[in-house]
Chain A
Amino acid sequence: MLDFCLQPFSNAGMVSEEADNNKKQPEEPAPGQTMAGSDGVPMLEVRQIVKSFGPLKANDNVSLSVGSGEIHSLLGENGAGKSTLVKMLYGSLQPDTGEILWQGKPVNITSPSMARQTGIGMVFQHFSLFDSLSVADNILLSLEESFATSDVADKARQLSIDYGLPLNPHSIVGDLSVGERQRVEIVRCLLQNPDLIILDEPTSVLTPQEAENLFETLERLRSEGRSILYISHRLEEVKRMCDRATILRHGKVVGECDPAQETAESLASLMVGTNVNKANRRAAGEIGDPLLEITGANLPAGSPFAIALKNVNLTVRGGEVVGIAGVAGNGQSEFFRLVSGEDVIANADAINIRGTACGSSGINERRSLGAAFVPEERLGHGAIPDLSLSENLLLSRHGSDSAAFLRMGKLGLIRTEITLDATARICEKMDVRKTGEDPDASSLSGGNLQKFIMGRELDRQPSLLIVNQPTWGVDAGAAARIRQAMMDLAQSGCAVLVISQDLDEIFEISDRITVMHDGELSEPIPIEDATYEKIGLLMGGANPGHVLPEVEEHHHDDTTSGGAE
């Protein structure tokens, strides 16, 4: 019984050695060559699919084919119909008309379980993991057969190392960073030995190095003859990785191309229909008074797998954007909780906002001092999916704007009309696209919800804005708008602190860059002196005296056990 499941592992072992050879010539596996591996029948073909939701045609006559051993990119803005198409391939939605062919034969995929049986695996953008269970238990749950946890743990560890996605199977998922959770999803998908893997914006949470690892993994998978349908907003990596690309706009296919032959600009203009501007780098503005001062702040680890923050020092002045780079899971979430006041510490003086010591004050006191916060996860942290936008507005602003939104003092009656007006104002200002006047947060696409959450804080005209992963999983248009908004805010004299794993973003908007590694912050580097190499080294823990995090140790295991060194 176990044998079935073991197959992919043994394959993987073989392939990893091959791939080690390939590493020396990474450009070697030419796309044309691998695609010709099959007998001309595409792995997956989609013919004239139509899917409507009420009056909206989410997919309008979409056709697409993915050859075996091909990495095929699906490009499009949020709301272009990518998710709808992918959901139909994975069986969560049924097409109205049109057909899906699997290895030349028409198939009717009625459920995700059936998709898995067919050989289609999917890695979701929003993870479907149980926080309170270990990695191995989570993987075990997704398998159709039952195995001993220890077997699964061993195999998952082996598989994860072979594919360059090191994982400790006994970690509790709730303690993992977003990047690490994604690895769990990928490993879980690979365990089912799929022929076609659908990845929904996989690199949006990864560092360049992690993304590099993922690309190697994908190249290995391609060389095994597997097909990959790759959804991403990052045009550079699509150009680099993908053999072909299909571009969707407003539910229709607007083009198919070989991304290597295109420029990022030409791909972007196909996607959005107009030329996308990079955020305008403003002239170095006037640097004002320090608005956020963190001196010698410590935060002990809240759980065995969390990162403790050690002696964090940072000053952010009015008029500047400070970027915090770092590999996922090095204490960024803990840092956000410390600064926002979701976790308070006894030492009030360790954190100063606009000259007021507030280390021991809660999040609403800090908001009243003029600070605004945007957390990493939109659904379930920055916003509640089942509540309307106006209620979500109240979520972060009931304390700082109580005079506007509440009446009768202690009784705290909510002034619904005013929250509705403010919601409409924010949506208009940030170009939030929604259906209805005040829809549930869950009905908005990721980019639009992020614009709303961002707008909710900007609308307050804060003097200090702290944002964790501002553009994670957000389409190019919305990301540009969000970045521009942050830079404009700094221009107007506000202090902006951005935590991001997207180095391009950090370099695009920051005036100074610091790196978080294993719970410590490096000395900030002015943008003029910063290079990708310098920052990359700091992200890897180049400062003397740093302990290598667990991830790196696994790398080590990998290379020694693989015998490559």
Chain B
Amino acid sequence: MIRVELVKRPQHSNFYMLMSPFIAFGLTLVFGALIFLALGKNPFTGLYFYFIDPLSQVWSLHELAIKAGPLIMIAAGLCVCYRSNNWNIGAEGQFIVGAIFGSMIPILMPGFQTVLTLPLMLIMAMVGGAIYAGIPALLKARYNANEILTSLMLVYVAQLLLDWLVRGVWRDPQGFAFPGSVRFPPAATLPEMIPSQGDAHYGFLLALVAAIAVWFFLAKTLKGFEVSVLGLSPRAGKFAGFSASAMVFFSFMLSGALAGLAGISEVSGAIGQLREVISPGYGFAAIIVAFLGRLNPLGTIAAGLLLALTYLGGEAAQISLGISDKVVRVFQGMLLFFVLGCDTLVHYKIRIVSRTAEGSAT
């Protein structure tokens, strides 16, 4: 019998540590090509439509920014969570609840249309996302419940809540019974950055600002230092006088607030109303973005753009080659798989042990 085991390397190579996301992307391309081949498509055309074509036109670059914005914003918050060893998997739910909170203003107070409307919506969304992320934080800090499970399960709660709202109490009376709220007035809409060229709204800029701010916070401030300390060693954190349970709340609520902000940006900037589905899985894809970006908020900018490309490429490939848009999920899955695999192999090597030989020796 043969057993495969992972053996920790005495020293890991910094070079490969940096290269790991690129190798992972390369492997994704190779296996993507194989998938196209298996589907009976020319792999080179497939990869061209998937990764190059969306970058060839100005309007599709705008689309890229629209998709990358929420990914970067959510992932920047997740960096704080994951670095402090708090596993928030529920950003998708916080994204939705943030959107719901922010949308309260144009939906429940349609008359309130001033210059303050939009900022207030953004703040409400952050509050909503933070409160919703506070639930798994409370369950973890107080009752020691596994935050991976609770935060994930709360995603479905949020999705159903949204579905209920837009089909029920918040449905637009003039909407011909289609699910969806009233369309937001201009005062409640996040404007486009360069309206003459494309649809990209200021959500992308907000995301860049958020990523840079979170990077500065993690790298330069004492609270950011506290994040790394508690993530690396809770005991040493206690010695430093840092509170692990306060950090659970802080990291969850910060990432929840950013996810909520991303949610309202998407609804008010890209969609223009609250619908029954407002996210193609941004909250989950952002987990990939965070890891692909080495849990560094600046890295999430590049990683977010790459992941956004897989969304656009999926649409492009669907239109041009007639393959299922589920390929997007496959590509995202492969990317995460390879980046985690590469990271593991930077720290560990594989050893194959034959059981029979060992049994006789003991």
Contact = CB atoms under 8 A, between A and B. Distances in A.
B162 interface: no
A144 B58 CA distance: 61
A395 interface: yes
B222 A113 contact: no
B353 A398 contact: no
Given A111-B351, A384-B233, A395-B236, A413 B221 contact: yes
Contact of A413 (B220, B235, B236, B240): B220
B271 interface: no
A311 interface: no
Interface stretch (A254-262, A319-327, A375-383): A375-383
Given A5-B362, A373-B239, A384 B229 contact: yes
A164 B37 CA distance: 67
A396 B222 contact: no
Contact of A384 (B236, B351, B353): B236
B221 to A, nearest CB: 5
A414 B220 contact: yes
Interface residues of A, number: 38
A375 B241 CA distance: 13
B228 interface: yes
Q: Most chain-A CB neighbours within 10 Å: which of B223, B240, B361?
A: B240
Given A380-B233, A412-B221, A144 B358 contact: yes
Q: Most chain-B CB neighbours within 10 Å: which of A93, A382, A414?
A: A414
B232 A414 contact: no
Nearest to B232: A384
B236 A383 contact: yes
B232 A386 contact: yes
Q: Most chain-A CB neighbours within 10 Å: which of B10, B221, B351?
A: B221
Contacts of B358: 113, 117, 144
B239 A145 contact: no
B233 to A, nearest CB: 5
A411 interface: yes
A122 B106 CA distance: 69
A394 interface: yes
Given A144-B359, A363-B241, A381 B223 contact: no
Contact of A395 (B221, B223, B240): B240
A382 B222 contact: no
A1 B236 CA distance: 43
Nearest to A373: B239
Contacts of B240: 363, 395-396, 398
A92 interface: yes
Contact of B239 (A5, A117, A382, A391): A382
B337 interface: no
Given A92-B10, A395-B229, A380 B235 contact: yes
A438 interface: no
A145 B241 contact: no
A145 B360 CA distance: 11
Given A342-B238, A395-B236, A412-B222, A387 B359 contact: no
Interface string A5-28: 100000000000000000000000
A341 B220 CA distance: 27
B362 A394 contact: no
Contacts, number: 74
Contact of A411 (B10, B221, B238, B362): B221
Contacts of A398: 222, 225, 240
A144 B357 CA distance: 11
A58 to B, nearest CB: 13
A398 B226 CA distance: 10
A370 interface: no
Interface string B231-269: 011011011110000000000000000000000000000
A117 B362 contact: yes
A373 B236 CA distance: 12
A398 B225 CA distance: 10
A383 B10 CA distance: 20
Contacts of B194: none
B239 A414 contact: no
Interface in B322-362: 351, 353, 358-359, 361-362
B239 A387 contact: no
Given A117-B361, A363-B241, A364-B241, A111 B233 contact: no
Contacts of B353: 113
A362 interface: yes
Q: Most chain-B CB neighbours within 10 Å: which of A387, A395, A406?
A: A395
Contacts of B225: 391, 394, 398, 414
Contacts of B205: none
Contact of A362 (B10, B232, B233, B241): B241
Contacts of B220: 413-414
A525 B189 CA distance: 78
Nearest to A365: B241
A208 interface: no
A399 interface: yes
Contacts of A341: 241
B238 A414 contact: no
Contacts of B351: 111
B239 A4 contact: no
B213 interface: no
Contacts of B277: none
Contacts of B221: 411-414
A384 B232 CA distance: 7
Given A92-B10, A113-B358, A384-B232, A395 B222 contact: no
Interface in A328-353: 340-342
B239 A363 contact: yes
Contacts of B10: 92-93
Contact of B229 (A111, A340, A387): A387
Interface in A390-434: 391, 394-396, 398-399, 406, 411-414
Given A373-B239, A375-B239, A394-B225, A387 B362 contact: no
A145 B358 CA distance: 9
20 contacts: A4-B362, A93-B10, A113-B353, A113-B358, A144-B362, A340-B239, A342-B238, A362-B241, A363-B240, A380-B235, A380-B236, A381-B233, A381-B236, A395-B229, A396-B239, A396-B240, A398-B225, A406-B222, A413-B222, A414-B220
Interface of A: 4-5, 92-93, 111, 113, 117, 144-145, 192, 340-342, 362-364, 367, 373, 375, 377, 380-384, 386-387, 391, 394-396, 398-399, 406, 411-414
Given A381-B235, A384-B236, 18 more contacts: A5-B362, A93-B10, A113-B358, A145-B359, A380-B233, A382-B236, A384-B232, A384-B233, A387-B228, A387-B232, A391-B225, A394-B222, A395-B236, A395-B239, A398-B240, A411-B221, A413-B222, A414-B222
- Which 3 pairs, one residue from A and one from B, show the smallest C-beta to C-beta distance? A412-B222, A364-B241, A117-B361
